Structure 1
Amino acid sequence: MTHVVTEACIKCRYTDCVDVCPVDCFHAGPNFLVIDPEECIDCAVCVAECPAGAIYAEEDLPEGQELFIQLNAELSQQWEVISSNEGALPDADEWKEKTGKLALLER
């Protein structure tokens, strides 16, 4: 199994999770992070580090977030690896608690 970044990350892109990842499996897009399922070793250290609560084990995904399994796999092949904390997006705290952000995902 792998871990998955879900909708809560969109428009936030906190990168606290990146610093603790031992295998550099995170990839960064304009306003979202994804986890490469081929690189993730399922260590779970990133889960507690995410201020938005956006990372879940694949088997524990909240209802309605299942499509992010495929999105993480797809976008991790397109976006560059991120291996250190770059800070959150400027208005991340304003978006952190909002839902229904899928349409705002920038590829």
Structure 2
Amino acid sequence: MTHIIAEPCIGTKDTACVAVCPVDCIHPTKENPVFEKAEMLYIDPGTCIDCGLCVDECPVKAIFPEDDLPAEWNKFIEINAHPPKDLGLTWG
């Protein structure tokens, strides 16, 4: 199981979650040139260790364990696994 960033992140892109992630699995970071182009942040499911530190840190409550993701946001499982290609974010 991994964590999923869902709809509340769209347009917000608060990076508090990035700062607490021990494995740097949340992208793009502010340092990445595509940060401004991205509409939200994404979690690399192959890197996420399911620690949950990002959940409480998110000010818009956009991050959920995959099993607790509200059904209306299920599409964000796929969106996190395969971010828009134009962002150049590829997961291992």
**Cα deviation, residue 22, structure 1:** 0.2
The equivalent residue for 1:41 is 49
Alignment of 1:22 onto 2:22: yes
User: How do 1:1-107 and structure 2 match up within 5 A?
Assistant: 1-28=1-28, 29=35, 30-75=38-83, 78-79=88-89
Q: CA RMSD in A?
A: 2.0
Distance 1:76 1:60, change over 3 A: farther
If the length of structure 1 is used for normalisation, what is the TM-score?
0.70
User: Which consecutive unaligned segments of at least 5 residues does structure 1 have?
Assistant: 81-107
Q: Which has the higher contact order (CA 8 A, sep 6+)?
A: 1
Q: Is the 8 A contact 1:23 1:40 kept in 2?
A: yes
Q: Is the 8 A contact 1:7 1:68 kept in 2?
A: yes
If the length of structure 2 is used for normalisation, what is the TM-score?
0.81
Q: Distance in 1 between matches of 2:21 and 2:82?
A: 20
Detail structure 1 runs of 4+ shifted over 3 Å in the superposition.
none
Q: Identity of aligned pairs, percent? A: 49
Secondary structure of the equivalent of 2:73? coil
Task: Please list the CA deviations of residues 64-103 of structure 1 after superposition, one character each: whole Å capped at 9, or x if unmatched.
Answer: 11110010010187328xxxxxxxxxxxxxxxxxxxxxxx
How many aligned residue pairs are there? 81
Q: Is the 8 A contact 1:27 1:34 kept in 2?
A: yes
